[in-house]
Amino acid sequence: MKLSKSFVPTLKETPNEAVVTSHILMLRAGMIRMLSAGIYSFLPLGYRVIRKISEIIREEMNAIGGQEFHFPGLNPKEIWEQTGRVEAFGDTLFHVKNREYVLAPTHEEIVASTAKNHIQSYKDLPQIWYQIQTKYRNETRPRSGVIRGRQFLMKDAYTLDATTEGLDKGYMLHDQAYRNIFDKCGIDYFVVGASSGAMGGAGSEEFMIKSDAGEDTVAHCTKCGYAANLEVAISKIDSKLRDDKSEEVKEISTPNVKSIDELCEFLKIDETQCAKSRVYIADEKPVLVLMLGNDEVNEVKLQKEFGGNVRPAHPEELIEITGAEAGSIGPVKYQGRIIADNRLKDANNLYSGANKNDFHLGGIDLKRDVKGIEYFDLRFVSSGERCPNCNNKLDVFTAIELGHIFKLGTKYSEALGATFLDEDGNEKPIIMGSYGIGVERVMACYIEQHNDENGIIWNKTLTPFQVHLMGLNMKNEDVANTSDSIYEKLISENIEVLYDDRIDAQAGYKFKEADLLGMPIQVIVGNKKLNENKVELKLRATGERMDVDIDELISKVQELLK
Ligand code: ATP
Ligand code: MG
């Protein structure tokens, strides 16, 4: 492709709308443009990468027996009502105004409807159906460029099985296909969710990358691969040890002392001598939650114990329930249910609120002074704590989800009547799995991981073009002719080449742009080297430069691309 005739609108400056590295670089490299919030056009250079990622996905999906479909994006709303997902998606679902249609945010419904009409017997199963197709979601915070779009390309796959063993098998095939896909793309990923043994194993796994642009927080162990969303992550951490002797409960005046840090400062004690108290309302009943020191209550873990519907008590409620304001609440003589984090199990000689404003109690023995206390894991893990599997230090960071594999079961087939007859002639719902990868997100995540201050650094697999050829002074006939003939030769050898043949652009500008666009091999044709019958070759990734005889250029490029 000749740059003189191409639409590659590069930008020198960082566009105002972008903060995330991949977003900035995709805009600056002329790969995408925003049409409206969360809606992007892919320009020729960017779309070449999308096609390459799609091809890698196709190869791996076809290798596990996937059949490529193209389901419609415009769906009758009725089908979505049958599964209850018009409600479940809520505002995220795009509705088409003039008809009872919705724009599909995913395709479980359409797959199940298709199966309903055409799968009859166990002999028709298993099936792996996939597509690479546009999805529509009215995301509330579309930011970070194509990482979270309102319209985006997803590879979505669905397994249809007669047995749970079949589902396990399909799931494991996708697990391996996903690893192959992300490896081939050159992405450094990790997997959240247990991946060991399919039978009875986890029902879902997320493939993620570490990134400041991420919206999920995860705990990860680089040694053994343990990874979990912070909402459910666990660690090995010391509990408070029970002292040999319990002191007497004593009331202490603590004027204006609210937080654990203030209490520690005031009493000259360590945070691990304190029990922090929080009141929650679970199913309209108050619960006092005790945490050791500054440990934060993990509301997802709390919700797990109570089956959902848990919220912090409002300030007015606090006074009514405990007689004190936040900062002075504690377990002794508290009327009602008390639960505590495992780190506090049977601890004594603790400090906590006195349920009286501006007073705390010391010498609390949870065994002696607090009846019926229940213990659970209720805390958030933090960086540096020990991995629950291998004792290595855990890292806590934000991450982006690239892909998701999920054992759905029969939810959609039951709702839509997608059944089959088993060997004994019994009618059963088809067992489904669903498997997604965000194609644009893969591209953005690759860029998040492969860039420097000058621009993008493509690998041989995803790069829009393998070679970036530059004729430096195209007014010079020698340079122009040699560059032209190198261009032709590269093309005849099936090497993808972007040719900067522009006459007016300065050498410095061409160099900068080549680094911004990031093709792996740059071939530079200039006056001086031509006199020795040589051109210069630069590797984008390392900055390494070499002079190559023009006659040997093609074989050198081929060798580098191997
Ligand atoms: P997220 O938690 O990031 O919103 P999700 O759980 O909604 O993701 P899925 O419904 O599992 O995502 O979709 C499968 C894949 O599609 C995701 O792993 C992600 O790569 C991609 N994806 C999801 N939402 C978007 C979006 N708004 N823009 C771009 N890609 C997306
Ligand atoms: Mg989502």
Distance 378 CA to ligand 2 centre (A): 26
Per-residue pLDDT band at 306 (split at 50, 70, 90)? confident
CATH of the domain at 180: 3.30.930.10
Instruction: Tokens 């063993």: give the residue.
Output: 165
Count how many domains the chain has: 3
With b meaning 16 or more CB within 10 Å and e meaning fewer, what string describes 169-180?
bbbbbbbebbeb
Ligand number nearest CA of 57 is 1
Residues 435 and 490 in one domain: no
Distance 376 CA to ligand 2 centre (A): 30
Phi, psi (degrees; rounded to nearest 5) at 328: -125, 20
Distance CA 284, CA 469 (A): 69
Q: What do you get for the CA distance between the two ends of the chain, in Å?
A: 22
Distance 48 CA to ligand 1 centre (A): 22
Which residue minimizes the CA distance to atom 31 of ligand 1? 438
Q: Express each pLDDT in 398-415 by its tens digit.
A: 999 999 999 999 999 999
Residues 217 and 103 in one domain: yes
Residues 6+ away with beta carbon under 8 Å from 1: 44, 465, 497, 498, 499
Residues 401 and 483 in one domain: no
Distance 436 CA to ligand 1 centre (A): 8
Ligand 1 atom closest to the Cα of residue 215 is 3
Ligand number nearest CA of 182 is 1
Domain membership flag for residue 315: yes
Domain membership flag for residue 422: yes
Ligand number nearest CA of 151 is 1
What is the model's pTM? 0.90
Distance 95 CA to ligand 1 centre (A): 19
Distance 215 CA to ligand 2 centre (A): 10
**pLDDT at 202 (0 to 100):** 54
Which residue minimizes the CA distance to atom 19 of ligand 1? 438
Ligand number nearest CA of 440 is 1
Ligand 1 atom closest to the Cα of residue 149 is 28
Which residue minimizes the CA distance to atom 1 of ligand 1? 401
Distance CA 474, CA 476 (A): 5
Asked if residue 456 has pLDDT above 70, the reply is yes
Per-residue pLDDT band at 194 (split at 50, 70, 90)? low
Length of the chain: 562
**pLDDT at 307 (0 to 100):** 79
Which residue minimizes the CA distance to atom 24 of ligand 1? 148
**pLDDT at 349 (0 to 100):** 96
Q: Which residue has the higher pLDDT, 225 or 444?
A: 444
Report residues whose beta carbon is within 6 angstroms of any ligand 1 atom.
Answer: 106, 137, 139, 148-149, 152, 154, 401-404, 436-438, 440-441
Asked whether the beta carbons of 331 and 344 are under 8 A apart, the reply is no
Which residue minimizes the CA distance to atom 29 of ligand 1? 148
Question: Stretch 144-165: mean pLDDT, rounded?
Answer: 97
Asked if residue 168 has pLDDT above 60, the reply is yes
For strand 127-136 and strand 521-525, is the pairing parallel, antiparallel, or unpaired?
Answer: unpaired
Q: Of 149-158, 226-235, 394-403, where does mean pLDDT reach its minimum?
A: 226-235
Which residue minimizes the CA distance to atom 21 of ligand 1? 438
CATH of the domain at 536: 3.40.50.800
Residues 118 and 229 in one domain: yes
Domain membership flag for residue 34: no
Asked if residue 198 has pLDDT above 80, the reply is no
Q: Express each pLDDT in 318-374 by its tens digit.
A: 999 999 999 999 999 998 999 999 999 999 999 999 999 999 999 999 999 999 999
Question: Stretch 286-313: mean pLDDT, rounded?
Answer: 91
> What is the biggest distance separating any 2 CA atoms in the chain, rounded to whole angstroms?
97
Ligand number nearest CA of 105 is 1
**pLDDT at 305 (0 to 100):** 85
Q: What's the token pair of residue 517?
A: 């666009």
**pLDDT at 404 (0 to 100):** 94
Residues 87 and 186 in one domain: yes
Residues 317 and 289 in one domain: yes
Asked if residue 196 has pLDDT above 70, the reply is no
Domain membership flag for residue 322: yes
**pLDDT at 195 (0 to 100):** 43
Which residue minimizes the CA distance to atom 27 of ligand 1? 148
Per-residue pLDDT band at 315 (split at 50, 70, 90)? very high
Question: Stretch 122-146: mean pLDDT, rounded?
Answer: 95
Distance 410 CA to ligand 2 centre (A): 22
Domain membership flag for residue 1: no
Asked if residue 439 has pLDDT above 70, the reply is yes
Ligand 1 atom closest to the Cα of residue 442 is 20
Question: Stretch 225-240: mean pLDDT, rounded?
Answer: 91
Q: Express each pLDDT in 499-545 by its tens digit.
A: 999 999 999 999 999 999 999 999 999 999 999 999 999 999 999 99
Q: Express each pLDDT in 253-269 by its tens digit.
A: 999 999 999 999 999 99
Q: Which residue has the higher pLDDT, 194 or 23?
A: 23
Ligand 1 atom closest to the Cα of residue 105 is 10
Distance 108 CA to ligand 2 centre (A): 15
CATH of the domain at 277: 3.90.960.10
**pLDDT at 200 (0 to 100):** 37
Q: Of 183-197, 289-303, 480-494, where does mean pLDDT reach its minimum?
A: 183-197
Asked whether the beta carbons of 465 and 494 are under 8 A apart, the reply is no
Per-residue pLDDT band at 97 (split at 50, 70, 90)? confident
Domain membership flag for residue 85: yes
Q: How far is CA 489 from CA 176, 204, 460, 494, in A?
A: 39, 49, 19, 9
Residue type, 197: G
Residues 371 and 346 in one domain: yes
SS3 label, residue 64: coil
Asked if residue 201 has pLDDT above 50, the reply is no
Percent residues over pLDDT 70 in the chain: 98
- Which conformational region is residue 358 in: left (phi greater than 0), alpha (psi within -120 to 50 degrees), or beta? left
Asked whether the beta carbons of 520 and 455 are under 8 A apart, the reply is no
**pLDDT at 309 (0 to 100):** 84
Residues 350 and 404 in one domain: no
Ligand number nearest CA of 216 is 1
Distance CA 435, CA 171 (A): 9
Per-residue pLDDT band at 99 (split at 50, 70, 90)? confident
Asked whether the beta carbons of 437 and 449 are under 8 A apart, the reply is no
Which residues span the domain enclosing 549? 467-561
Instruction: Tokens 């997100």: give the residue.
Output: 441
**Among 154, 217, 412, which is best to mutate for testing ligand 1, by the most ligand atoms less than 8 A from CB?**
154
HSE at residue 101, side-chain half, CA atoms within 13 A, is 11
Strand-pairing partners, residue 376, are: 341
Q: What's the token pair of residue 490?
A: 């590269």
**Other C-beta atoms within 10 Å of 475: how many?**
9
Distance 438 CA to ligand 1 centre (A): 6
Instruction: Tokens 């209490």: give the residue.
Output: 263
Domain membership flag for residue 460: no
Residues 74 and 220 in one domain: yes
Distance 82 CA to ligand 1 centre (A): 23
Q: What's the token pair of residue 402?
A: 């690239």
Domain membership flag for residue 456: no
Residues 270 and 364 in one domain: yes
Residues 276 and 354 in one domain: yes
Distance CA 296, CA 150 (A): 34
- pLDDT, averaged across the chain: 95
**pLDDT at 26 (0 to 100):** 98
Ligand number nearest CA of 441 is 1
Distance 43 CA to ligand 1 centre (A): 22
Residues 135 and 229 in one domain: yes
Asked whether the beta carbons of 363 and 288 are under 8 A apart, the reply is no
**pLDDT at 197 (0 to 100):** 34
Distance 466 CA to ligand 2 centre (A): 34
